[in-house]
Structure 1
Amino acid sequence: MLFNLSLFLAGLIQASVIKAHTIVPQGFATANGDQFEVDGKPFAFVGANSYWLPLLTTKEDVTNTFEEMKNAGVKVLRTWGFNAINGSELEYAHKSGLTYYQVWNSSEWVINNGAQGLQRLDYVVETAAKNNIKIILALTNNWVGYGGMELYINWIAGSGNTHDIFYTDRRIQVSYQRYVKTIVERYKDSSAIFAWELMNEARCLGDLSGGPACVPGSQTLSKWYREQSDFVRSLDPYHMITTGGEGHFYWKDPKFASDYNFNGQAGENFDLDLTFPNIDFGTYHLYPQSWYASQDFPGSNFSSVQWGIDWITFHAEAARQVGKPVILEEFGMSGLENKTTAYPAWVQRALDTKIGG
């Protein structure tokens, strides 16, 4: 899930040195000590989720968007580094001007380096650099939208397989890594890249199915995070790497046993995942209104605002245990009154804990 109005503000907390004994190129963002840095100077930022940016069909629209962001003080944006289609959709894509990077006609996809393909992402990265804005670039999607991991599953393993096979099937991992290598090697020398993001909102469950291999305690997703972050680091020794996850926990406290966000059912183990050497900072998302729809109604004892405050606090505490930065990467509420109540409270709590939102 991602709302266009989601804004995030990175604060400063304890962080490990991510590139020990390595001279990071000028202009690259790093995590060092208790802060993000650029060229040895503290780097705090206001940012925007702009997943749609590479999908704009004219350079003028991209240029104007960056000018608006720069004028608003945005220093980091998060966008999709993926957009895949089936070969049967090519005719529509050409007629509509749709941006697409991968075309699937068999178990081997084909890259689109053309004017409707990676050249559009090239322009986004180039324009970001000109405006001194950095990019968190997500490499695939847990959800069906924009040709996420379901296309890998359908074309390689077969449409009858469950969602979790993406994390365990070696053929799928090799295909995913081939795409990751294409993107990382294309932009690894650019200071406009803030970080590589392994997947948007990785879960055991997708739009269509879950699966038996990815259950609480299996560490299926954690192992995938570890392996893929190590792979990206082998390609790029300098840029930061993060999960792109929603920050689900795996707590064994009985009072959280029935709560999807805490009992490990989602597949993540935020406390463990943040310890991996090539996960340089953590991410988490915040949508209590939709996550607890059955409890969030007038007169209920459940408070989306308070739940969000607690969620921010839990991640701040986990981050301090590990000594790495964490970004509240997405958050959202529907309804203007809800926004004017929740957003100031959440942002203030994030600032109080030295973690941004």
Structure 2
Amino acid sequence: MRPALLFLACLLPLWSPVSLAGAATATEKNSNFPKGFVTTNGRDFQLDGKPFAFVGANSYWLPLLTSQADIDATLNSMKQTGVKVLRTWGWNAINGTELEGALQTNLTYYQVWNGTQYILNDGPQGLQRLDNVIATAEKYDIKVIVAFTNNWFGYGGSDLYIQWMLGAGQSHDVFFTNRDIISSYQAYVKTIVSRYKDSPTIFAWELMNEARCLSDTLPAGPSCVPGSNTLRTWYREQSDYVRSLDPNHLITTGGEGHFYWKNPRKYWFNHSLVSDYNYNGEAGEDFDHDLLLPNIDFGTYHLYPQSWYSELDFPGSNWTVENWGIQWIDDHINAADKAGKPVILEEFGVGGLRNKTDIYPKWVQHALDTKHARIMPWQWGQLGLTEDGGNRLIKYADAIIDGASPNDGNTFYANQTQVWDVFTRAAKIQDARSG
């Protein structure tokens, strides 16, 4: 997910394909895993040889908190609700011009860009905060998925590499092809992986949050077109690289699950049939084939039809958010069946309490009925936060207000009882399926 204020429509220019050379040689995954490490067995996850089914939680804001009491309270609430896996950002990067403000507001940051290479911050306002979140998660027996960077600009994603290393006038997809950028990305990945490679608290490494040909600040370029395999080539190289650093932890793409079908789905809009961006390869992913890469251990997919199809989501339309979501779940379950690997519905959300109350029970139950469900709604909402008196502007429009964690419209809180109960019920079902 990306901040709403940074959202752009999915409009792409035409490109011509190029290939990415120099992919690393694949390193094999360890077959004898240390105790406490999550593994896979066909379509299922396992923990110490027993089934590991779960409901998880997304919280990008957890490492941004400055109060240990609030971090403990949040992870304890997750534990009590039945959450077994937390997904959070392993990046928080700023421009050099933001440094003074970050120091004044106590903003968490891991990288500072003020030249052609970032400066790492592994101090108490930097990676030590991620250390603390992972250590606290361990305390509450919660596994953590860590994403290395962001496709979107929020909190300093991939476009900072492009802007500082190559300058203006670039397309977003050079992040996936430029050798200097890839080397810089890998240097940061090595820092994170080396820091936690021996920790059983890490569930998996995630190459990028929602990789696409374009971003919200830069367009796609000629090296990223349907069939060019730009993202798959990058997924292959980076997953092989991470495996060379860490033979034990799982690796995934972090993608939204876009397809590249020979005959993509179409929908009727403005008196014509429109080729569906989520199925025609324009995003850059090819979920069916990306999932087959040797060091991609499981697939991820996200689900936001309300914003993806805003032109179709209106009263009286024959198109519905609920039905499209069920179809999307089925398509990814079918792809996972063919690949023989697990998949996670890693992010999903709708805006409006009534929408959540009506739609989430249907989506979650449908996923549970597949028997291979792993469910991680976007996003966890925590009440009763105390730092700065319960009111703190973090960055952008993200703020703690009256003790409530940042609310992007998709956030759900414990006082929204009907929505909350959907996930606590699902967590009990998943717990019963686990060893």
TM-score (normalizing by structure 1) = 0.94
Residue 316 of structure 2 is aligned to residue 299 of structure 1: yes
SS at match of 2:275: coil
AA partner of residue 245 (structure 1): G
C-alpha separation in 1, matches of 2:69 and 2:30: 42
Larger radius of gyration: 2
Q: Which residue of 1 is the match for residue 334 of structure 2?
A: 317
Cα deviation for residue 308 of structure 1 reads 0.3
C-alpha separation in 2, matches of 1:131 and 1:38: 16
Q: Which residue of 2 is the match for residue 282 of structure 1?
A: 299
Could you tell which deviates more after superposition, 346-355 or 190-199? Answer: 346-355
Could you tell which deviates more after superposition, 20-29 or 276-285? Answer: 20-29
Of 216, 219, 228, 2:226 maps to: 216
C-alpha separation in 2, matches of 1:334 and 1:44: 27
In the TM superposition, 1:75-90 aligns within 5 A as 75-90=84-99
AA partner of residue 231 (structure 1): Y
Residues 19, 238 of structure 1: 8 Å contact kept: no
Residue 365 of structure 2 is aligned to residue 356 of structure 1: no
Cα deviation for residue 254 of structure 1 reads 5.5
Tell me the matched-pair count.
344
Q: 1:39 to 1:112 in 2, by over 3 A?
A: same
C-alpha separation in 2, matches of 1:159 and 1:134: 39
What CA deviation, in whole Å up to 9, does each residue of 1:160-217 have, x standing for no partner?
Answer: 1010110000000000000000000000110110000000000001012121111101
In the TM superposition, 1:245-264 aligns within 5 A as 245-253=255-263, 255-256=265-266, 258-264=275-281
Q: CA RMSD in A?
A: 1.6
C-alpha separation in 1, matches of 2:311 and 2:353: 20
In the TM superposition, 1:180-195 aligns within 5 A as 180-195=189-204
AA partner of residue 223 (structure 2): A
Q: Which residue of 2 is the match for residue 122 of structure 1?
A: 131
AA partner of residue 247 (structure 1): G
Cα deviation for residue 33 of structure 1 reads 3.1
Cα deviation for residue 2 of structure 1 reads 5.4
Q: 1:45 to 1:146 in 2, by over 3 A?
A: same
Residue 281 of structure 2 is aligned to residue 270 of structure 1: no
Could you tell which deviates more after superposition, 308-317 or 24-33? Answer: 24-33
Q: 1:20 to 1:138 in 2, by over 3 A?
A: closer
In the TM superposition, 1:123-272 aligns within 5 A as 123-208=132-217, 209-253=219-263, 255-256=265-266, 258-272=275-289
Q: Which residue of 1 is the match for residue 351 of structure 2?
A: 334
Gap runs ≥5 in structure 2: 5-26, 267-273, 376-435
C-alpha separation in 2, matches of 1:255 and 1:187: 41
Cα deviation for residue 348 of structure 1 reads 1.1
Cα deviation for residue 32 of structure 1 reads 1.4
Identity within the alignment, %: 66
Of 23, 30, 41, 2:39 maps to: 30
AA partner of residue 307 (structure 1): W
C-alpha separation in 1, matches of 2:47 and 2:284: 33
Gap runs ≥5 in structure 1: 5-17
Cα deviation for residue 20 of structure 1 reads 6.3
Q: Which residue of 2 is the match for residue 112 of structure 1?
A: 121
Cα deviation for residue 356 of structure 1 reads 2.9
Stretches of 4+ aligned residues off by more than 3 angstroms: 18-21, 254-257
